[in-house]
Amino acid sequence: MKLDTSIALMERARKIIPAGVNSPVRAYLSVGGHPPFIREAKGAYITDVDGNTYIDYVASWGPMILGHAHPRVVEALNDATRRGTSYGAPTPLEVEMAEEIVAAVPSMDWVRMVSSGTEATMSALRLARGYTGHNKIIKFEGCYHGHVDSLLVKAGSGGMTFGTPDSAGVPQGLARETLVARYNDLTSVEELFMNYPGEIAAVIVEPIAGNMGMIPPGAGFLEGLRDMTRKNGALLIFDEVITGFRVGLSGAQGLYGIDPDMTCLGKIIGGGLPVGAFGGKSDIMKAIAPLGPVYQAGTLSGNPLAVTAGLTTLRILKEEGVYKQLEEKAAYLAKGVKTAFKDAGISIQSHRVGSMFCNFFTDTPVRDYDTAKASDTGLFGRYFTGMLNEGIYMAPSQFETGFVSLAHTREDLDRTIEAVSKVLRGL
């Protein structure tokens, strides 16, 4: 595969951008090789500056559930752009967006828009602390909630990929307020509540972990968190930045029937533009400025373009049969890929919830950070490179999630399965 233009761009970029990228995992340091620089994307395909076209399972790390440049989203954006790109004032679109979100996600009485998932989790934490009057929060090893100071402790995603789960630059005083439990292990949470009675503001969790690879919650885990937080006067915050509108209209909470106090959203609700949102029970949300004492604000919050793209996306997702289609496509792909690995005699742990998937290169079941870390990342790297050379664009790390979009056709999925078989034969 010719990547000359991408390589030249990377050389230029490295002189002025750290590692040449604006987000660490994009540098391909853990898988080796050169990241293709992208020129354009359409439907299920993404094309680099050298003219190579790939079948895309990164989906911009989740938002592009409809596929890239969906005609209705593009048309809506074109119209919106002509009316101006930012007003810094309330708009009717924001009201419609909030109405769509609260209608789809029953635990959210009220919602506020921000500009990224990181902003959403950061604001939700401050609100939880302001509302409860407690400082400590519990997060889970390997869960990633954006690059918020308090949450870059034992973090997944790039932190896990590069072996820096605890970031430098986070004041120790702040890190001390973050207690870390094991995902899918209620006893580890119970112990923290016992050791810090009356001090814990909230438990924040990805209800389906998506940043240490993809790990579904075990039976009773989310229910246990709900009971324990209620019993101990702490809030339960679901970080549904990845899962919101991905595994169903009401996210993972709808899928598993849990009623969290607060929810963080992002990715899909921006339809590919920068958006986040946090919301929850109205008595909690009333503590946000200007109604209450917890301050939060943003120049581009509720930006008309981002809300337009998100709103159009949500309206398409509400149409009949959309999630059924996603389920069928992802199930077909997962089955084919699993068979290809089995035929090649390579053990993997194949995880899938709806259109989210991950194949861990290990023969032991994966249920938390430690078991995910047992994966053979060297083998994953070789597989990744082989797939890229076959025109399949996947996340360049074992510890991320793959996404199927509505734009993937049966032919795309078959081509992907064939590529898997071919690459595995060469490993």
In whole angstroms, the minimum distance from the beta carbon of 305 to ligand HOZ comes to: 19
Question: Which of 139/226 has CB closer to ligand HOZ?
Answer: 139
Q: Which residue is nearest to ligand HOZ (CB)?
A: 23
- Copy the structure tokens of residue 315: 């309206």
CA atoms within 13 A on the CB side of 156: 29
Q: How many residues bind ligand HOZ (CB under 6 A)?
A: 8
- Smaller CB distance to ligand HOZ: residue 271 or 304? 271
**Binding string, 60-89, against ligand HOZ, x = CB under 6 A?**
-x----------------------------
Piece of 11-19, 23-31, 222-230, 312-320 that binds ligand HOZ (CB under 6 A): 23-31
Span interacting with ligand HOZ, options 20-28, 71-79, 175-183, 294-302, rule CB under 6 A: 20-28
Distances (CA, A) of 100 to 225, 314, 401, 406: 27, 8, 26, 21
Distance of CA 368 to the CA centre of its chain: 17
Whether 227 is a known active-site residue: answer: no
Nearest to 150 by CA among 102, 202, 109, 111: 202
158 binds ligand HOZ (CB under 6 A): yes
Q: Which of 28, 54, 144, 383 is catalytic?
A: 144
Residue 157 C-beta: closest distance to ligand HOZ, Å: 4
Work out how close the CB of 385 gets to ligand HOZ at its nearest, in angstroms, rounded to a whole number.
Answer: 18
Instruction: Identify whether 329 is a catalytic site residue.
Output: no
CB of 82 to ligand HOZ, least distance (A): 29
- Tell me how far, at minimum, the Cβ of 400 lies from ligand HOZ, in Å: 5
Q: Which is closer to ligand HOZ, CB of 26 or CB of 318?
A: 26
Residue in 277, 307, 325 with CA at minimum distance from that of residue 111: 277
Kindly write down the DSSP assignment for every residue of 244-305, as one continuous string.
TTTSSTTHHHHHHT---SEEEEEGGGGTTSS-EEEEE-HHHHTTBTTTSSB----TTTT-HH
Q: Which stretch binds ligand HOZ (CB under 6 A): 22-30, 195-203, 272-280, 384-392?
A: 22-30
The reply to whether 26 sits near ligand HOZ by the rule CB under 6 A is yes
CB closer to ligand HOZ out of 25 and 101: 25
Verify binding: residue 308, ligand HOZ, rule CB under 6 A. no
- Partnered with residue 205 across adjacent β-strands are 238
In this chain, which stretch among 2-10, 18-26, 90-98, 383-391 interacts with ligand HOZ, using CB under 6 A? 18-26
d(CA 84, CA 117): 24
Strand, helix or coil at 2? Answer: coil
Sign of CA dihedral 108, 109, 114, 119: negative
In the residue annotation, 267 being an active-site residue is answered as: yes
Given 154, 267, 329, 373, the catalytic residue: 267
In the complex with ligand HOZ, the residue whose CB is nearer, 20 or 280, is 20
What residues between 169 and 228 interact with ligand HOZ by CB under 6 A?
Answer: 211
β-pair partners for 110: 280
The gap from C-alpha 6 to its chain's centroid, in whole angstroms, comes to 26
Q: Is 157 one of the binding residues for ligand HOZ (CB under 6 A)?
A: yes
Three-class secondary structure of residue 138 per DSSP: strand
In angstroms, the CA 295 to CA 317 distance is 33
Q: Please say which residue, 49 or 102, places its beta carbon nearer to ligand HOZ.
A: 49
23 binds ligand HOZ (CB under 6 A): yes
How is 187-237 classified by DSSP, letter by letter?
HHHHHHHHHSTTTEEEEEE-SSB-SSS-BPPPTTHHHHHHHHHHHTT-EEE
59 makes contact with ligand HOZ (CB under 6 A): no
| Interacting residue ranges for ligand HOZ, rule: CB under 6 A | 23, 25-26, 61, 157-158, 211, 400
Show which residues are catalytic. Answer: 144, 239, 267
